[in-house]
Chain A
Amino acid sequence: MNGASSRVDATSPKATAVPTTQPDSGAPVASRGVPWRWMLAGFTVLIAAVLAGLALGPAGISPAAIGSDLLGRLPWLGLGTSMSQLDATVVWELRAPRVALGALVGAILAVAGGSYQAVFRNPLADPYLLGVAAGAGLGATAAIAYIGASTQWLPIAAFGGAVVAVIAAYALGRSVAGGRNTTSLILAGVAVAAFLSAVQTFVLQQNSESVRPVYAWLLGRLSTSGWSDVTLIAPYVIGSLIVLLAHRKVLDVLRVGDDEATSLGVSVTRVRLIVVAVATLGTAAAVSVSGLIGFVGVVIPHVVRLMAGANYRLVLPLSMLVGASFLCLADVLARTVLSPAELPIGVVTACVGAPFLAVVLRRVRGGDT
């Protein structure tokens, strides 16, 4: 948010002198590939989270039954299914879309947050900071309060509001510093977000009756989703994920600063524009359906970084897996803790995520000393 934190990478600890002469030991130069054991662990956690999301709920259905039913649905195996029609409907028409939506939303929020942190070299950056949340919130609120739009238009209004907000923030930030100064871009985002939030509060207050459906959306929810929600956002989210992951190595170059990255051959302004645009688009698509699920974009990349190191070529793919798993599990909690009532998932992500970050922070920082 300020000059100091935007150069967080520069804060190198006071070096301790060590002997400079080292024999040519022939030590292998570390390969630049993704460390596969981390990715394997990430996939394992994701599969476990998906199974938990399918199996857990008010109606108890065992993972084994789900597994055999899944195999039974594969046409070329010719196995029958032992699952009752009702259970199958619960699993495949109610829970499976929620799990898929949770995985998509968690993945893009985490990857977009990590990408924002890289291009702004600021550990607190994520799309919400440039106005995605405030713009989506105002778009949704205004559409329902003034145009009288039905709730099915809410995602489109939210998406439009989010995109407009970030374009405004980007234009404002660029007009100040020509796109070279990331701090002014973030400040512009903070200004736009604060303004839009204030307008949204005003609209909510003036129309407290008609905007009731917006409240649930503002707190985040995966609850009303069917497969149509999933197929609506999947192309945007998956496309964004592919583009952002393809940039993961360039993001590592940006860690040495704009000037040096330029002298190393990176078109910094262009990379920043592409990454911000794509991350914003993916996030806007996600929140348009899921509502304003906070905390994931900032916390998941940090947890990943604390556990697996700061290289974006690992942080981004691992954040995708951990973010997807995290939101699946948060949704399980959201619909089981007060069953049959549901908690807003935004409440769960913050209540579970904040202590989790604190634990990881303490463990890793404690291990350093």
Chain B
Amino acid sequence: MIDIAAAAVDLGGVRVVDDVDLHVPVGTWTMLIGPNGAGKTTLLRAVAGLVDHAGTVRVDGVDLAALGARARARLLALVPQDPLLPPEMTVSEYTLLGRTAHLGFLGRTGARDAEVVRESLVRLGLLGLADRALGSMSGGERQRAVLARALAQQAPVLLLDEPTTSLDVGRQQDVLDLVATLQTERGLTVLGAMHDLTLAGQYADRLALIDGGRVIAHGRPDQVLLEPLIAHHYRARVRVENVDGAPVVLPARAASPR
């Protein structure tokens, strides 16, 4: 579904993404993992068409470089790392922004748009909050509003950039459960970036470890979440335990002499 070939991005003369090839099959979920500054977000932004890049990104065989913003928005929905939420905008108005690429001449909203917005709000349990201002909502609710907006885009590909930062562990699971449900229900293809390795491994079908702008390892979570790999690339002391068949990455404090 998503085919990234020889992607490279230079930012301010520094090569941030370097010759990345990555294939995300239709209906699957791939999480990019890697240390700060590894190039995860930049790779996602390149896929979303927000930074200039070398190489090609294809979705469903279509080269994204050939598409305008509107056509691209019908293929890819982005949940950004730090969304700008106008505090006075209501949840339903915000969700309707997801319909931008579908609206008619001069931004006319049709019955179909209203229906999709309503469906998205229902799906994310936000219908009761439809007329609430974004500025008055909790972090978890806002993240659901951002997901509702992305859902209203009705794009087959969902890009998630650190969707769970600043959420407590319960809200993190809420958001990831929702994405997992949507992935199965609607056959979405998901490409995300995430810092929590255990959660990434529990939800994604595949992980891609990125460091220095390159893909270091790519495969099932148990093939990527390996102690020596994580320890080396994150320069971290970790233990990886197998809990109920899934890898759990535990940070370990260095033994201190007493």
The interface residues of chain B lying within 8 Å CB-to-CB of A353 are none
A residues contacting the other copy or chain, number (CB 8 A)? 43
The interface residues of chain B lying within 8 Å CB-to-CB of A253 are 97, 100
The interface residues of chain B lying within 8 Å CB-to-CB of A261 are 100
- Give Cα A260–Cα B88 distance, bound, in whole angstroms: 18
Q: Any chain B CB within 8 A of the CB of A29?
A: yes
**Listed residue (A20, A250, A261) with the most chain B CB atoms within 10 angstroms of its CB:** A20
Q: Any chain A CB within 8 A of the CB of B92?
A: yes
Q: Is the CB of A256 within 8 A of B68?
A: no
Where chain A touches its partner, the secondary structure class is: loop
Q: Any chain B CB within 8 A of the CB of A355?
A: no
B residues contacting the other copy or chain, number (CB 8 A)? 57
Partner of B136, one of A16, A27, A311: A16
Give the interface segment out of A5-13, A166-174, A190-198, A211-219: A5-13
- 8 A Cβ contacts from B27-62 to A: 45, 48-50
- 8 A Cβ contacts from A21-67 to B: 21-27, 29-32
B17 CB, nearest partner CB in chain A, Å: 17
Q: Is the CB of B128 within 8 A of A25?
A: yes
Q: Is the CB of B139 within 8 A of A15?
A: yes
Q: Is the CB of B85 within 8 A of A262?
A: no
Q: Is the CB of B84 within 8 A of A10?
A: yes
Q: Is the CB of B87 within 8 A of A13?
A: yes
The interface residues of chain A lying within 8 Å CB-to-CB of B137 are 15, 18
Q: Is the CB of B50 within 8 A of A265?
A: no
Q: Any chain A CB within 8 A of the CB of B114?
A: yes
- 8 A Cβ contacts from A290-322 to B: 309-311
Give the interface segment out of B70-78, B182-190, B228-236, B239-247: B70-78
Q: Any chain B CB within 8 A of the CB of A259?
A: yes
Q: Is the CB of B69 within 8 A of A29?
A: no
Residues of A that sit less than 8 Å from B by CB:
7, 9-13, 15-18, 20-27, 29-32, 246, 249-250, 252-253, 255-257, 259-268, 309-311
Residues of B that sit less than 8 Å from A by CB:
45, 48-50, 68-74, 76-78, 80, 83-90, 92-94, 96-98, 100-101, 103, 106-107, 109, 114, 117-118, 121-122, 125-131, 134-142, 153
